[in-house]
Amino acid sequence: MRIEELLETRTEKTPAKPFLTFPDEAYTYREVTVRSKRYASALADLGVDAGDPVALFLPNTPEFLFCLFGCAYRDAVAAPSNPAYTARELEHALSLSRPDLLVTTPDLAGTARAAAEETTVERIVTTEATADHDSLPALADDQSPEVADHGGDAESIGLHMYTSGTTGPPKAVECQHENWTISAVDFQKRMGFTHDDTLFTALPLFHANAQIYSTLGAAAAGAEVVIYEDFSTSNWWDWCREHGVTEFNAMGSMLKMLDNVPEQEDDADNPVELVFSAGTPPDLIEPFEARFDLRVVEGYSLTEDPMLVLNPTDPEKRKVGSIGLPPAEKRIRVVDEDGDPVDPGERGEIVQDCPALMAGYHRQPEKTDEAIRDGWFHTGDYGKIDEDGFVYFLDRKKDIVRRGGENISSFEVEGVIKALSAVDEVAVIPSPDEFYGEVVKAMVRRKEGHDLAPEDVVAACRGELASYKLPEYVEFVDDFPYTPTGKIQKQQLRERERSEEPDHWAREGDAE
C-alpha cells in the first residue's frame, strides 16, 4: 500500500472524523486529503515530476504533512531535514538528494538560502509569502483537488530520510511507500488502536517515529493524532487531558523527565492508556505505570527498517527490560563477528530481514552493500535473544551519542573540532546524563605549544552544528589508547566514562 492510499482508505470510511490536530488548527480526514491533493498540484506547477525529491526544512506544522501527503499524490520524494540544522548541515542533506525545490518557513528561509547556494536547489517557497519567496499554501489554494495519475506503486521511493552519519557523512535512506505503511499498520494492530483513540506526539515530524507510528498509525485506525512542536514536562498532562489523549510516543529521556516532576494528587487522573517508548530505563517502567495509571510498551526500530520489535501490551506477557518480539513478517538474529548466529542469551550484533527494509542508501551502493548482506540488515547494535524469542538491546556498535531522541554522529562532531589548528587528535564519546540519557563529550589532545580552551572547542562547533550536537563536556588528554592498527579505542574510553568519576570542563547556561 502507498502512503496516499492509506489516507484515501480511511477518508472513504470516515471523511468527517478529526485526523490532524495542532495547537491552533485541526483538520478532518477529508480536509487533509483535499488539502494534500491541492499541494500535489501546486508541486506539479512548480515543476516537480514523479520521482523528483522535494526538500522539506520545516518544524511540526500542518504544512509539513500536507507536503508529505502531497509528494505521495505526486509520486515525488519527500526529503525532510531537521529544522535545527545549520546551513552547513542542511547543505549536505541537499547535496545527497539534489532537489530543485525546497519548502521552508519565513523564519528558516535565511538558513535555507545560505545552504542552497552551491546545491541543485533552484527555487525556495515558504509557508507564508515573503518579499523573496512565494507561499506554497497560497499556491495550493488556487489548485484543483483533482490530481493526475502517476505510475508509482508501493515499492516506489517515497522519502529520503537522513542518517546521523556514524562512520562518515550522513546518508540518505531510500524509503519505499510500503516501508512506512506496513510498519504503521503493524504498529496500529499490535498496540490495538481503534477509531476511538487519540494519539499524541511532540516528536519531530522529520523523524520516522512521528511520521509512521503517530501520524500513519492514527490513519491506519481512523484515529485522531495531536501534534505539538515541543515537549514540555509542565504542560504535558494538561495537554493530554485537554485532547483526551489515549496514547503518546516517548523516546530517550522523556519519561524520566516526566517522572522527575514533583508528584501531584491527580497524576493518575489522565486519559492515557498506553505509552510507546524507546530507550527508557527498565527500572523506571513499572513505577511510572503505577504513578500515572497507564502501560508502557517498549520497542525498537531503525529508519532503515521501521517495522518494530515490540513488547506485548499485556503486562502478563511482556518482559520488562526487553525491547520485545518481532512481528511474524520480520526475522531477527544475533550474530558474531563472522556473521554466524550465536546461542540464546549470547551477545552479538542484531541483524534483521524484513519486508519494510529500505531500498538502500541513495547514490551510495557501496554503503548499501556494507549494511545489507545476503538480505540481512546489520543494525550496528549489540543485543541478545532469550530462549522465548525476546530481544534485548545491550549496546551500540555504531559510533554515536544518543541524546534524547537524537542520534549524533561522533564522526561529524570530531570533523569540526579537528579543523582547529591547535587540535592534534580528538575522540567524541557519550557521557551519561540523567535527563538525556547521553550527551556529547569531546576528548581533545592539543598540539604541543598550542593554547586551546574548552570554550574554543564549543565555539568552533556552534557555528557548524545544530545546538543539540554541541559538546556538553570537554576533557583535554595527554594521550589516547590505540588499537594495533592505530585507531583510538573508543570502547575503552566509553567504559571509563561510565565507571569512573569524570574530570572535565562542563558547558553551562545554553544546554537545551
pLDDT over 70 at 165, yes or no: no
**Is the fold of 28-176 the same as that of 231-396?**
yes
pLDDT over 50 at 512, yes or no: no
Averaged confidence pLDDT in the chain: 94
Give the model confidence (pLDDT) of 74-122 as tens digits.
Answer: 999 999 999 999 999 999 999 999 999 999 999 999 999 999 999 999 9
Give the model confidence (pLDDT) of 171-226 as tens digits.
Answer: 999 999 999 999 999 999 999 999 999 999 999 999 999 999 999 999 999 999 99
Supply the pLDDT for residue 286.
Answer: 97
Averaged over 441-468, what is the pLDDT? 95
Count CB-CB contacts under 10 A for residue 242: 12
pLDDT over 90 at 431, yes or no: yes
Supply the pLDDT for residue 511.
Answer: 41
Per the model's pLDDT, the better-predicted residue between 167 and 244 turns out to be: 244
**In whole angstroms, what is the distance from residue 406 CA to residue 159 CA?**
19
DSSP 1: -
**In whole angstroms, what is the distance from residue 199 CA to residue 111 CA?**
32
Contact partners, residue 15, CB within 8 Å, separation at least 6 = 28, 29, 30, 33
CATH fold of the domain at 231-396: Rossmann fold (3.40.50)
Per the model's pLDDT, the better-predicted residue between 503 and 361 turns out to be: 361
Averaged over 4-16, what is the pLDDT? 98
Q: Where are the domains of the chain?
A: 28-176, 231-396, 400-506
Residue type at 350? I
Whole-number percent of the chain with pLDDT over 90:
86
Give the model confidence (pLDDT) of 308-318 as tens digits.
Answer: 999 999 999 99
Averaged over 394-410, what is the pLDDT? 85
Residue 70: its H or E element: helix 62-74
Give the model confidence (pLDDT) of 255-285 as tens digits.
Answer: 988 999 999 999 999 999 999 999 888 999 9
Supply the pLDDT for residue 279.
Answer: 83
CA distances from 255 to 154, 242, 285, 372 (A): 36, 20, 9, 33
Least confident of 230-239, 378-387, 488-497: 488-497
Domain 400-506: which CATH class?
Answer: alpha beta
Least confident of 131-135, 289-293, 459-463: 459-463
28-176 CATH, one of 3.40.50.720, 3.40.50.980, 1.10.10.10, 3.30.465.10 = 3.40.50.980
Give the model confidence (pLDDT) of 122-164 as tens digits.
Answer: 999 999 999 999 999 999 999 999 998 899 999 999 999 998 7
- 337 grid coordinates: 563477528
Nearest to 280 by CA among 295, 262, 265: 295
Nearest to 54 by CA among 122, 5, 113, 8: 122
